Structure 1
Amino acid sequence: MRFRNIKEPFNSIRFNFTKLHDNEVMMYLKCEDNPITTDPLDRHLIAVNASPLERDHCLIIPAVNKCHPQVLNPVAIRLAVDIMLLVTDSDFHILFNSLLGQASVNHLHLHALYWPYDSDLINRCFEHLADVPDVYVIQPPMWLTSAFAFQLTKMEDYEKFKSNIFKCVNFLTDQNQAHNLFFTRAQPIRTDGPDRVEDRRRQLPLYVTCYVFPRQNIVGAKPPSNFNPAANELAGCLTSYTYRFFESAAEQAVVRIIEEEALLPTNVFQNLCCDLSDLYSNRPLGTSRESKTSLLDGLSSPEIDELRDTFESFNQPRSPSVRLKNPLNHTQSVDEQVVRFEIHSAD
C-alpha cells in the first residue's frame, strides 16, 4: 500500500485487522492484576500472519477494536515488553515497522517470530547517548546502520524502560521520521572493550533489549528489490525471497542496498541524537545542537578543514566486517571479527 506520512490516519476502507476471521485469531491477551488498558472492551490479540517469514510468525494487535493507525503507543510497547518477558527463548523476537519504514498495513500491529539465528548486533560495542545513562547508540562502521538501544537489566526499571522506548519512537513520529524496532534478548550492552565480543559459551545473562533504527522514509509502494530492509534486516537477519538472491547474495551488495534504502545521513542522525539527549535530560530541544555549534565557532579554518578531512576519510564501504576499528590480530580468528549475515530462504 502507498503511504505519504508517518501519522497517516486509519482508513477503514483499506485492509485492516477488524476483517480477520475468527479462525485467524490465535489468542486474546489479558492481565488480571494489572489491566493492559482501562477499557474492558479492548481486545488485544495474537493473529496468524498471511505472509510469514518463518514458521510461527504471527501478529500482535493491540486494542484491535480501537482501530489505531500504525503508530506505536504505550499500550503496544507494554505488550511487546510483557510478551518478551513471558517468552524466555532467546530465538524469540518482536518487530515493528512504521509507515514509510516498510509497514504494509496501517492498523497498529507488531510481528512476533522465532528466528533461529543470533543478530550480531548483540555482540557489538555501543556508546552512551551523550549524558543519558540508559540510552545507547551505535553507528557505522560499527554496524550496518545507526540505532538507539535500550536494555531492561532489572525489573525495578520496567516502567522506565518502557518510557524511554516510547519517548524515542514518539519523538521520531513527531519528526515524521520512519523507524523500525527489534526486540530481542541480548547480553549486557558494552560501552568499552573490543568492537565485537561473542559469548559463545553462553555464560552471560540475556536481557530484554530493544533496538530502534531511525531510517530513510520510503514514500509510496515498496521499491522492487531482492529484499526490503526492515526491522529484521537492519538487525542483520536477512530474508531471501528468491533462490537466485539466496545463492548470489554478497555482504557488500547487501550493505549497499541498506545504505541506499535505509541509512540516514550522518548529520541527520547526529541531530536526532542531540535532540533526544535534550529530551531525556529535560532540556529545551536544540540546546545540544547549539552547544556543538558554539564548539565549532571556536575553531580556526585549518582546524575545521582537518575535521572535514577526517570525516571524509570514513566515506568508505560501511560494512562492519570491512571497517573494524582494531586490525586483525593473531589472537582472534577471522570469523570472530566479521559480521555473519544469516540468509534465510523464505517459502
Structure 2
Amino acid sequence: MLTIKRVPTVVSNFQETSETAGCGRNCLGQCCLPVSTLPLYTFTNAGKEQENVKGKCPSVPDEDSPIDFLNTLVLGQWEDRQSKGLFRYDVTACESKVIEGEQGFIAQLNEGRHLKKRPTEFRVDQVLQPFDPKKFNFTKIGQEEVLFRFEESSNGTSRYFDGALVGASTKSNVVTINVSPIEYGHVLLIPRVLDCFPQKIDAESFFLAVKMAEEGGSPYFRLGYNSLGAFATINHLHFQAYYLSLPFPVEKAPTRRLTCAKGGVHVSTLMNYPVRGLVFEGGSDLRSLSDFVSNACIFLQENNIPFNVLISDSGKRIFLFPQCYAEKQALGEVSQELLDTQVNPAVWEISGHMVLKRRKDYVDASEDYAWKLLAEVSLSEARFKEVQTEIFEATGLVEEESNEEEKLPEMAMASSSSFKPTPPSCVVWQ
C-alpha cells in the first residue's frame, strides 16, 4: 500500500462561535448552510430547454442585477476576502518570472504555501476512496470564505442575487476562496457541497466546471482538477481556478490530431511537451465536449489511473494528463534532487506554472529543470499509448491514419522576465 504520512485533521481558521442559526459556527454543514443567506449567481444552459419559472423558488428574491462575473464577482470578492485577512499569506507579494527558454515556463516563489498549506491525508495508489467525514472537508469551512453560490438558471438568463436563502432543496454549488492560494483570484468550485461527494468526476459536476470557465469569458481564467494520486489533498469533490494573464506553456504546445469523436469533438495528443496528454476541443456545444471528456475521466478513475485536467480557453479546450509521479515518489523512483524541492506537480505545474517553495530553486530555475521535473510526471510513451487506446475503446473512438502536426497560434507574451499580478482589465504584465 502506497501512502503519504497521515496528519491530524485541520479545520478552518475562521470558525469562531457566534450567535447564529445552526451550530453557531457559520460553517457549510447541514446545520448552518440551509438556513443561510448567500449571494447567488445563476448561469444559462443554452443546450437545455428552459421554462420561465420565476417565482416558483421562494429562496430567490425578485430583484436581480447584471454583474461582471470574472472582474466583479470572482476577483472583486476575492480581493474583499484578502482585505479581511482570510488568507494564510499574501500571494500577490510572491515573486514570479518567466523562465528563459522556448517553452516559457512560469516560476513563482511561494514559501507560504509550503509552510501553511494543509497536508495530504490520503493513499496515493487509490484514485477512488470513500468520503470520510472525520477528515477535513469543505462542510467545515466558514461561510466568510464563500464568495457566492453557482447554480443553473431556472428561467434561461444569467442573473445575480446579492442575497438568497439557501434552503434545503437547492444544489448548493459554492465558489470559495482557497486560503492557501497559488495565484491572484485562486478559488474553489465545490459542486453540491452538502452531498459530500469524494474527489470523483461525474458528468454533471464536470459540466458545472466547464460552465464556470465559460462564464469567466477570459482565456486567462482557467479551471483545474487533480484526482487522488495526482496531488489532490482533500477528498471532497472540488475544482480549482485562478486568473493569470499569461498563456500557459501547455496551451502553446503543438498537437497532433488523433481523431474526431461523435458530435464534432476533436481529440489530439501533445507534441514537444514534457508531459504526455490528450487535448479535446470543438463539438457542437459545450455539453458535448464536456460529456466526452468527463467520460474519459470516469474511465481513468475507475481503472485507478491518477490524472489531472486543465479547462482552458473559456471551456472550449480541455487537457487531460494521466500521471504517475506520486506512484514513483512512493516507490523511491524519483531522484533526491527533485524530492528536495518538495514540489508536487499537479495540474498547474503540469500546465507550466511552476510553484516553487525554496528561494534557491526559484533563483536557479531553468527550462531544463522544469522539463526534468515534468518528465517524471509523464507516463512512458508505451504506457501512454496503452491508456490512450483504452480510453478510445471505452468511448467508442478510432484513431485516424494521420501524422499531421499542427502548431497552435501563439498568444502574446510580455518580454519581461519579472512581473506582478495586475487587474484582469489589464492583461499586460509588467
TM-score by length of 1: 0.69
Q: Contact 2:260–2:266 (CA<8 Å) still a contact in 1? A: no
**CA–CA distance in 2 between the matches of 1:208 and 1:130?**
17
Report the counterpart of residue 324 of structure 2 in structure 1.
Answer: 216
Aligned-pair CA distance for 1:146: 0.8
Report the counterpart of residue 367 of structure 2 in structure 1.
Answer: 251
Report the counterpart of residue 266 of structure 1 in structure 2.
Answer: 381
Report the counterpart of residue 277 of structure 1 in structure 2.
Answer: 392
Aligned-pair CA distance for 1:256: 1.5
AA at the equivalent of 2:211 = D
Among candidates 249, 255, 267, match of residue 126 of structure 1: 255
**CA–CA distance in 2 between the matches of 1:131 and 1:179?**
22
**CA–CA distance in 2 between the matches of 1:82 and 1:146?**
26
Report the counterpart of residue 153 of structure 2 in structure 1.
Answer: 32
AA at the equivalent of 1:275 = E
Report the counterpart of residue 240 of structure 1 in structure 2.
Answer: 356
**CA–CA distance in 1 between the matches of 2:138 and 2:358?**
28
TM-superposition CA deviations, 1:47-67 (whole Å, max 9, x none): 111110012101100010110
Distance 1:224 1:24, change over 3 A: farther
**SS of equivalent to 2:326:** coil
Which range moves more in the overlay, 161-170 or 214-223?
Answer: 214-223
AA at the equivalent of 2:302 = D
TM-superposition CA deviations, 1:241-292 (whole Å, max 9, x none): 22221110121122212222x1101111101121222233268xxxx9xxxx
TM-superposition CA deviations, 1:135-170 (whole Å, max 9, x none): 423245x111111111246xx322211111111101
**SS of equivalent to 1:218:** helix
Q: Contact 1:131–1:277 (CA<8 Å) still a contact in 2? A: no
Report the counterpart of residue 51 of structure 1 in structure 2.
Answer: 180
Compute the RMSD of aligned alpha carbons: 3.2
Among candidates 73, 83, 97, match of residue 226 of structure 2: 97
AA at the equivalent of 2:367 = E
Q: Contact 1:137–1:146 (CA<8 Å) still a contact in 2? A: no
**SS of equivalent to 1:30:** strand
**CA–CA distance in 2 between the matches of 1:78 and 1:85?**
10
TM-superposition CA deviations, 1:45-88 (whole Å, max 9, x none): 00111110012101100010110001111122111111111111
Report the counterpart of residue 151 of structure 1 in structure 2.
Answer: 281
Q: Contact 2:286–2:315 (CA<8 Å) still a contact in 1? A: no
Which range moves more in the overlay, 25-34 or 157-166?
Answer: 25-34
TM-superposition CA deviations, 1:285-335 (whole Å, max 9, x none): xxx9xxxxxxxxxxxxxxxxxxxxxxxxxxxxxxxxxxxx9xxxxxxxxx9
TM-superposition CA deviations, 1:189-240 (whole Å, max 9, x none): xxxxxxxxxxxxxxxxx87211011111625889653422111111112222
Report the counterpart of residue 295 of structure 1 in structure 2.
Answer: none
Q: Contact 1:62–1:75 (CA<8 Å) still a contact in 2? A: no
Which range moves more in the overlay, 74-83 or 13-22?
Answer: 74-83
Matches within 5 A, 1:1-347: 1-3=121-123, 4-33=125-154, 40-130=169-259, 132=261, 134-139=265-270, 142-152=272-282, 156-185=284-313, 208-216=316-324, 218-219=326-327, 225-260=341-376, 262-281=377-396
Q: Contact 2:258–2:269 (CA<8 Å) still a contact in 1? A: no
**CA–CA distance in 2 between the matches of 1:277 and 1:270?**
10
TM-superposition CA deviations, 1:108-137 (whole Å, max 9, x none): 001010012211322333222356463423
TM-score by length of 2: 0.56
Aligned-pair CA distance for 1:9: 0.6
Which range moves more in the overlay, 116-125 or 90-99?
Answer: 116-125
Q: Which runs of 5+ in 2 are unaligned?
A: 1-120, 157-167, 400-404, 422-430
Equivalent residues, number:
268
**SS of equivalent to 2:212:** helix
**SS of equivalent to 2:382:** helix
Q: Which runs of 5+ in 1 are unaligned?
A: 186-205, 289-324, 326-334
